[in-house]
Structure 1
C-alpha cells in the first residue's frame, strides 16, 4: 500500500534581522577562508583613508548620472549616509566581525522606499548600485595591488563584494516593495477623493478653483486627465468583474450597482467591450463626452438611461449611448407626462391596429423630417411611392387639419420619436384608456371607416 505523502509546511518568512544575518554570514565566508594570508588591519586602514574621497566622488557621480538621485542637500545627505554606513559594515566583515547594527539595511530600505514614493521603478537603484560596485572594486583592487596581496585573496575579496552588493540590492528592493504598497494605498485614497470631486455636483468655490483641485488630485492619483471624459454606469449582478487590462486610466467605484467608471471616450469603448464578456454585467450606459468639471450632469443622464430600460422606456441593448437616446431622455424625464402627451396628441393612432399604428407613425415622422413629396419620402423609407401616398391619405384621415398646425407637428415629432421604440416591440403601455377631451380634427374618421391596407 502506497504511503500518503506528508504535506509540507509552508516555510516561515524570515524576519528582517534573520534575513540580514544570513546575508552577512554568506559575505563573510569567502573572507574567512582567505584572511590569514594578509595583514588585515593595515589593509583596512589603507582602505579607510580612501573612503572620504570615494564617498564624495560617488555622491557626485550618482547625482549626475541617475536622474532619480538628483537633488539638493537632503538627497546628497541620504546618499552619503548610505555609502558611509555600507563601507563601515563591509570593513567590519573584512576584519572578521558580523555587525549587529541594522543601520545599513535601514538606510538602503529608506532609499528604495523613497524611489517608490516618487513613482519610480527599481531601475535607478540598479544603476546606482552598479556604479558604486565598480567604484568600490576599483578602490579595493588598487589598494590590494599596493599591498601585494595574493590573487586568491583578491578573488575572495571580489566574491565577498559581489555578495555584499547583492545584499544591498535586496534591502533596497525590500524598501521599494513597502513603498509601492504604501504609495498604492495612498493613491487609492486620492483616487476616491478625485472621483468624489468630479462626480458630486455640490462644490464650493468657483469653477476655476474646482478645475485646479481636479488637476492636483489627478496628478496625485496617477490618473491621466483628459480634456473630455465620459461617465459609464454598469448594471451588474453579484461581484463586479475585474478588468484584465491595466486600468490606472479609469476611475472606478464598483462597491454597489450600478458601478461608476470615469475615463476618456476611447478607453470607455475598450472597457465596455471587455466588461461585456462577463455574464454578471447586465447593461452599460455611456454618457456623451464632457469636460471633467461637467461630469455630474453627464453621470445623471447615464444613470437615467439605465432607468429608462428598467421602466421599459427605451431599448434593452446591453450598451446604451446617451447620444442615441436624447429624445427619450428629454421627454422621459417625466414618464407620465410622455404617456399623457401620447394620449393627448396621438390618440387617433392608438385606435389603429399595432402594425398600422407603427407604419403610419414612421411615415409621419419621415414626412415631418423632410416635408417632401411622396417619392422622396418613399426613397428615405425604402418603400414604393404609392405606399407612401396611401399612408399620407390615411394620415389626413386620422389627423385632418392638425397636420398644418406647427405646435402639433413639433410636439408630435418628439412624442413619436420617444414612443416608436415601444410600438416596434409591441409594447402597449401607452393605451391608457379614454383620451382626454380635446378639439376634434377636421376629417377625423368616423366609426366603421375603411382601414389601411398596411394592417
Structure 2
C-alpha cells in the first residue's frame, strides 16, 4: 500500500479512493445542510442553480483531495487553483446578488461541518489510523478557511468596485438634476445608479470639508454633486448635496448646524425639479446673504432674493425713485434717501423714524418737509410708496 503526504498528513491510497468515490454524495448532503440551516440559501439553491452549486462543491472537494494527496500545494493552472478562483468569483457573485458575506461564511461553516462528517467517516472506515484523524480534521477545516478567505476577498472587491461605479452613476444623476434634464432621462439615470427616487429633494450648498459628515447624518439616498456643480466655479471650497424627503424638524436641525458656516439650504421641491432648489441656494451664496452666523435657510432670505432677481431692473427703479433729488449735494442726497426709506418702511411715523435714524425729531420734520417739496403728492401715492419700498428696502441709505 502506498501513501502520499502533505503538511504531515498521510492518506493511504485506499482512503483516497474511498473518499473520491464519496465526493458526489458528500456534495449533495453539503448542499442540503446549507439549504436547511442557512435561510438565505433555501431558495437560491433550488432547481438549476442548486445543481450548479452541487457541481461546484464536488469540484471544491476534489480540489481538497488533490491538495491532500500532493506536496505541490496550489500550482498555476492546477485544479486546486481553479477551485480558489471559483471561490473568489463566488464571493463577487454573492455581493452582486445583495447577500452579505455573513451568509456565505455561515454556508461555509455548515458545508464544512457536513463535509467533515462524511469524509472522516469514510476515511476511518477505510483504515485511516486514529493518529492521522486529527491531522485530517485540521487539514479539512484549514482548506475551508482558505476557500472562505478567497470568497471574502472577492466579496470585498466586488463591493468596492460596484460602490465606485454606483457612486459615479449617482454623481452623474445629481449633475443631471442640477442642469434640468427631463424627468424621463432622470428616471433612466436613477435606475442605472440603483437609486429609488424619493418624493422630494432639498439642495444644500456647504463647505466641502463638511460634506462627509453631513452625508453620514442624512438619508442613504442623499446625492453628492461634488464641487464642480454648475455655477459653483468661483466657489471651489463648496459642494452640493441633494437630501431626500427632508422633514421640517430635520430641516430646522440642519439649518442650525450650518449657521456658523458659509452654507445655504434651498427650498424642498419634487425630486425631478430640485434644480429650482439648487438655483435659489446658489443665488443666496452669490449674493452672500447667508454669512456665517446668519440663517442658512434660503426661506429666511426671500426678500433680498426676490429684489435682486433682476439687478438691472432694480437699479433702474432706484434711479427713477431718486430722480427728484438730482442736482442736490451728495451729502444731502444721502440724508434724504435714508429719510425717504425710513418714511416708507415706518409709514410716516416721525418719532419712529427719528429713533431709527438716531436724529432729533426737529431734524426729521425738516427733512420730511424737504421731501414734500421734492415729491409732492407722490409721497401719498400707493404706487410710488410700493416702488420706493422695493427700490430702497435693501439699502441702508
Unaligned runs of 5+ in 1: 1-26, 278-282, 425-455
Tell me how far 1:108 sits from its aligned partner: 1.0
Q: Distance between the aligned counterparts of 1:272 and 1:187, measured in 2?
A: 31
The alignment's TM-score, normalised by the length of structure 2, stands at: 0.73
Distance 1:298 1:315, change over 3 A: closer
SS in 2 for 1:84: helix
Mark the CA change 1:357 to 1:105 in structure 2 (over 3 Å): closer, same or farther.
same
1:298 matched to 2:277: yes
Alignment match, 2:202: 230
SS at match of 1:70: coil
Instruction: State the distance in 1 between where 2:338 and 2:150 align.
Output: 74
Is residue 251 from structure 1 mapped to residue 231 from structure 2 by the alignment?
A: no
- Find the aligned partners of 1:388 and 1:135 in 2 and give their Cα distance: 98
> Which of residues 50, 56, 62 is equivalent to 1:88?
62
Secondary structure of the residue that 2:315 maps to in structure 1? helix
Given that 1:272 and 1:284 are in contact with CA atoms closer than 8 Å, whether structure 2 keeps it comes out as no
Distance 1:324 1:167 in 2: 60
- TM-score normalised by the chain length of structure 1: 0.65
**Residues 28 and 160 in structure 1, CA contact (< 8 A), matched pair in contact too:** no
2:383 paired residue among 407, 411, 424: 407
How well do the aligned residues superpose, as a CA RMSD in angstroms? 4.2
Give the match's secondary structure for 1:216. helix
> Where do 1:151-230 residues align within 5 Å?
151-203=130-182, 207=183, 209=184, 212-213=187-188, 215-217=190-192, 220-221=194-195, 225-230=197-202
What SS does the aligned partner of 1:229 have?
Answer: strand
Check 1:344–1:416 CA distance in 2 against 1; reply closer, same or farther (3 A cut): same
Q: How does 1:1-12 map to 2 (within 5 A)?
A: none
Q: Which of 44, 48, 53 is the aligned partner of 1:79?
A: 53
SS in structure 2 at match of 1:287: strand
State how far apart, in whole Å, the 2-side matches of 1:71 and 1:40 are: 30
Shift of 1:160: 0.6
Distance 1:271 1:104 in 2: 55
Could you tell me how far apart the structure 1 residues matched to 2:361 and 2:268 are? 39
SS of equivalent residue, structure 2 residue 268: coil
User: Given that residues 35 and 42 in structure 2 are in contact (C-alpha distance below 8 angstroms), is that contact kept between their aligned partners in structure 1?
Assistant: no
Q: Please state whether the residue corresponding to 2:241 is helix, strand or coil.
A: strand
Matched, 1:341 2:329: no
Q: CA deviation at 1:69?
A: 7.2
Unpaired segments of 5 or more residues in structure 2?
Answer: none
Q: For 1:290, what is the secondary structure of its paired residue?
A: strand
Poorly superposed stretches of 4+, deviation over 6 Å? 274-277, 348-351, 386-390
For residues 350-395 of structure 1, give each alpha carbon's deviation from its aligned partner in whole angstroms, at most 9, with x where no partner exists.
8657577547634632439xxxx889x79xx998xx9899968955
Q: In 1, distance between residues paired with 2:378 and 2:385?
A: 8
Is 1:125 matched with 2:90? no
Structure 2 match to 1:263: 243
Offset from partner CA, 1:177-231 (integer Å, 9 cap, x none):
321232023213311331233122253xxx5x3564365245x15xx64422222
* Separation (CA, whole Å) in 1 of partners of 2:290 and 2:154: 54
Give the aligned partner of residue 439 of structure 1: none
CA–CA distance in 1 between the matches of 2:125 and 2:364? 109
Distance in structure 2 (CA, Å) of the matches to 1:74 and 1:274: 55
Work out the CA distance in 2 between the residues paired with 1:230 and 1:133.
51
Retained in 1: the 8 A contact 2:259–2:292?
Answer: no
Q: How many residues align?
A: 363
